[in-house]
Amino acid sequence: AQSVDQPDAHVTLYEGASLELRCSYSYSAAPYLFWYVQYPGQSLQFLLKYITGDAVVKGTKGFEAEFRKSNSSFNLKKSPAHWSDSAKYFCALGPNTGANTGKLTFGHGTILRVHP
Amino acid sequence: EAAVTQSPRNKVAVTGGKVTLSCNQTNNHNNMYWYRQDTGHGLRLIHYSYGAGSTEKGDIPDGYKASRPSQENFSLILELATPSQTSVYFCASGDNWASYEQYFGPGTRLTVL
């Protein structure tokens, strides 16, 4: 079975600070990992993905994430944070089985609030 | 630009009634998905489809049926709605080769009284 854990339900910081949203996963093989963002009142948007290769992947809106196999983590980072980054962020895992079903397992999400 | 639309955007239904949620995509993607989003649960997969005529059970299919009559359209059907199905429902589409990169619709807020 696979699972995704986002241990922080809420993260609050001030504009200009560095943000890091935590994500850990459980999966028996090498996973595909994703971050999606949901702005208030909107649907989910794809942010970035890790499939293979470089551990640090860059996405849209200045975000990047680092895959760490050693502790099964895929944390999302951005510096500096902007008030417009306030949103709910979801980490997700896709099984690397060779059959690309597209079935994603999502974490519960982290609500980020960036104060101006 | 890729687009996924859902209708209705808001729906109030009565317990025991039939509810159909519709999804249309203009991405020409083969894969389509139905999720529900509840506080404390994130997104959970209900049904998905690999193409016209196909439907597959997701992680929480009980109480739901799905229909994929064409490449563009994917419906979620609640034959006998219950209050526990009150939720926000999202449809998404994905290409075969990058299906994990999914494009989501705006969501439907369903309330079952």
Domain residue spans of chain A? 3-115
Region A41-56: what's the mean pLDDT?
90
Structure tokens, B69: 């009559």
Better pLDDT: B58 or B95 = B58
Q: What is the pLDDT of residue A68?
A: 94
Please tell me the predicted confidence (pLDDT) of residue B41.
81
Q: Hey, is A69 helix, strand or coil? A: helix
**Fold type of domain A3-115:** Immunoglobulin-like (2.60.40)
Q: Which residues from B are below 8 Å from A42, CB to CB?
A: 106
Partners of B57 in the β-ladder:
B47
The tokens describing A43, both together, are 């649907």
pLDDT bucket at B2, cuts 50 / 70 / 90: low
Closest chain B C-alpha to A92 CA, distance in angstroms: 9
Query: How many whole angstroms separate alpha carbon A73 and alpha carbon B35?
Result: 24
A103 vs B: CB within 8 A? yes
A106 contacts in chain B (CB < 8 Å): 42-44
Question: What's the maximum distance between 2 C-alpha atoms anywhere in chain A?
Answer: 45
- Structure letter (DSSP) for residue A85: G
Both structure tokens of B6? 């859902």
* Mean pLDDT rounded to a whole number for chain A: 91
pLDDT at B98: 63
Structure token digits, residue B46: 């209900």
Residue of B nearest to A42 (CA): B106
**Given an 8 Å threshold on Cβ–Cβ distance, is A103 in contact with B101?**
no
**Which class in CATH covers the domain with range B4-112?**
mainly beta
Q: Domain boundaries in chain B?
A: 4-112
Number of A/B CB contacts below 8 angstroms equals 53
Q: With CB atoms and an 8 Å threshold, state whether B102 touches A102.
A: yes
